[in-house]
Amino acid sequence: MTRRAAIAGWGLAVPEGKLTNADLEARDIGTSDEWIMERTGIRERRMCAPDETTAGLAIAAGNAAIKSAGITPGDLSMVIVATCTPEQPIPETSSFVAEGLGVRCGAFDVGAACAGFSYGLVVAAGLVATGANGPILLVGAENLTRVVDPTERGTAILFGDGAGAAVIASSSGGPDGPGLLSWDMGSDGSAAHLIEITAGGSRQPTTAETVGSGAHWMRMEGSEVFRRAVRVVVESSNAALAKAGLSTADVDWFLPHQANARIVSAAASRLKIPAERCIVNIDRFGNTSAASIPIALAEAADDGRLSDGDIVLSCGFGAGMTWSSAVLRWGRPVGAT
């Protein structure tokens, strides 16, 4: 029988520093608290101090998830880090995270932007199904305030820093037990230009000119991203539910990527999922890309909103453009290995 992957533990780590709407007003970039709230639903975001990095946040969140799962780092068979703001270009951020956790198991990064954690969940589930010899640590971690132009209103108001993590383990709970029930993934490279950092790679290597022109800042076509995001969330969510033999009426909790409160609201409305069944924390953290779903998941698990047997529909979407939906039956693994 195929082994199902379930979430055995969870954790989050966010910087102490905050970037509030009042702070952004003071930058004189043509915005206000009312303007930001109306368009995004964000009141504040967490912001790393100069000595805080993506890997540091990932290690802290990972340790919290390991403790929650009741295991030790040495029990892990793999470390997967989803991020689009890596520690450095080479090596991958997962190398630093594995070292920080004190493990020598396999470690690699997943680069699918805001869909990264969802992509990583499917990859981890595949490893479990094919015989991973121990739990897998999946982390979504970002330091986005380092890659947005602080004077560019369209991006500066959106993005924040943080990390969330989950321990993924096999469950012998059978067809009605906890774990990943189904998933849907996709990408559309023709829309890659909608969210991008053009410089710093092989296409446009770093030069004094690229730095001077601001080509290392993130650029985004917000209105088009909004339009596409709502559509793909609805289509992908319905596809994943259909694979599980479920409908939106069966969903206890909708856990979308926290990109923009208006996107969440529009997608939930089209899916006919009421607001009280949506897990939303964007007002306090902003858009944390690959970290947003695991941060929200950890908060909901810690505060008791998630109960054993609940059907959780999660959907991430982001640069690439990439998207990924997952349907989970909530609960710690039965007979986890």
Active site (catalytic) residues: 114, 257, 287
The crossing angle, in degrees rounded to 10, of helices 116-129 and 292-302 is: 70
Chain CA centroid to CA 18, Å: 19
Dist CA 54 CA 148 (whole Å): 15
Q: Which residues pair with 17 in a beta bridge?
A: none
Dist CA 204 CA 206 (whole Å): 7
Structure tokens at 184: 């849907």
Dist CA 147 CA 14 (whole Å): 17
Measured on CA atoms in the order 260, 261, 264, 270, is the torsion positive or negative?
negative
- Name 79's Cβ contacts closer than 8 Å, sequence gap at least 6: 62, 94, 97, 98, 101, 103, 105, 106, 107, 108, 136, 137, 139
